[in-house]
Amino acid sequence: MASGLSGRLWAGRELVDRMARQSPARLAITVFAAVIAVFTGLLSTPLATAHGVRAPFVDAFFTATSAVCVTGLVTVPTGTYWSGFGQAVILVAIKVGGLGVMTLASVLGMAVSRRIGLTQKLLTASETKTTRLGEVGSLIRVVIITSTTLEVLIAALLIPRFLALNEGVGEAFWHGVFYAVSAFNNAGFIPTAHGLAPHAGDWLLLMPIIIGAFIGALGFPVILNVARNRKKFVRWSLHAKLTVVTSSLLVVIGSTLFVALEWMNSGTLGAMSIGDKILNGLFMGVMPRSAGFSTIDVGQMREASWLITDSLMFVGGGSASTAGGIKVTTLAVMLIAIIAEARGDRDVEVFGRRIPRETLRLAVAVVFVGATAVLVACLLLLEITGWSLDVVLFEVISAFATVGLSTGVTHDLPEAGKYVLIALMFIGRTGTMTLAAALALRDRRRVIRLPEERPIIG
């Protein structure tokens, strides 16, 4: 019996080793799918619902996928439909999904940048115990410690505020921890019945969530690089500079446009004071990057605001972060390349560094694949639901970019529509990350190159 079990374990290890060596991207997708299956099973038990009745499979599957992919879209209200056990399962799924995203993305990035297979990297880590060639183990430990520390700090700010709002100690602690984990991991799940709408003017409650979501969307490589070089911007890596600068610009532009468009809208900011309008404008400037929280009724926003939010959601946050989308560095590289082309520059340069052409080709591929996924999903949902394009587009981009914002129609989706969004959330969470790694690892050096000829563009 023991020998049979050990044989199966050895065979499993060999399978994982082979997948890691031949296709690390496929391994990442397999791991995420397995994790979703486990949490779907837990949410399918009667113990997970508040009324003690087994949840429909599609709702359990949808919620598990949304939690592991740190999206936040829900077909049933989190705070009232799921029991304490169910909410705990969702919280653990968010944590596991967030850690998995940062760790897998970082490991895939190491494999790409150093052209060393994951198997060799893991072997080096176990044999040499170093942090240069084999830093996978230490990387995972630092990711866990850093993310957990930041979540504890955010919770430490939120718990006293919930206590001041006349919540009991246990309830305040639970809400503070849940919102902290959900914010840092850009998940967008809310444990309270009415969400954050009743606290739209509460600076002490909303600011920690804003800060947590912004930092979480930067990505672990950026957090670590900035922490090591704190006030020395010149020593930041190019990736850190592009991520922080582009993210900050997107927040400023998004917040400004949102406030300007919704200033007089009675359904959103119209009845608020100037201070509250600024706070909620900042909140809505940060949340589309992937966090997905909202203090207003998104369904009451103007269509122009929906379009701005669509754009921000599609871009998303930083690479190797808990955020989704095509990533801010992808947008930055594309814009810098356009500027270089307009100037007639031979090289794409920024912050004293030259960006390789391979990186630009990769950015184009990521944008095209992302746009294609959104297009296909929109076509399917338009046929399934019969809804208008603006509503469908908002829902689709929110799912693809793992944001979680909704105009309020998610719970009305037909079952087929729910499965479309489930697939889209999974693709959006693992797709761009693994696609980038897979394409980069397939970079081939050819001895013989064909003659060059330029087709007419534009």
pLDDT in tens, 239-288: 999 999 999 999 999 999 999 999 999 999 999 999 999 999 999 999 99
Q: What is the Cα–Cα distance from 132 to 116, expressed in whole angstroms?
A: 12
Q: Print burial letters for 345-381: b (CB count within 10 Å at least 16), e (below 16).
A: eeebebeeeebeeebbebbebbbebbeebbeebbebb
Q: What is the Cα–Cα distance from 253 to 271, expressed in whole angstroms?
A: 23
pLDDT of amino acid 434? 65
Amino acid letter at 301?
M
Most confident of 98-102, 131-135, 339-343, 440-444: 339-343
pLDDT in tens, 372-395: 999 999 999 999 999 999 999 999
pLDDT in tens, 169-219: 999 999 999 999 999 999 999 998 888 999 999 999 999 999 999 999 998
Collapsed DSSP state (helix, strand, coil) of residue 351: coil
Please determine, for residue 122, whether its predicted confidence score (pLDDT) is greater than 80.
no
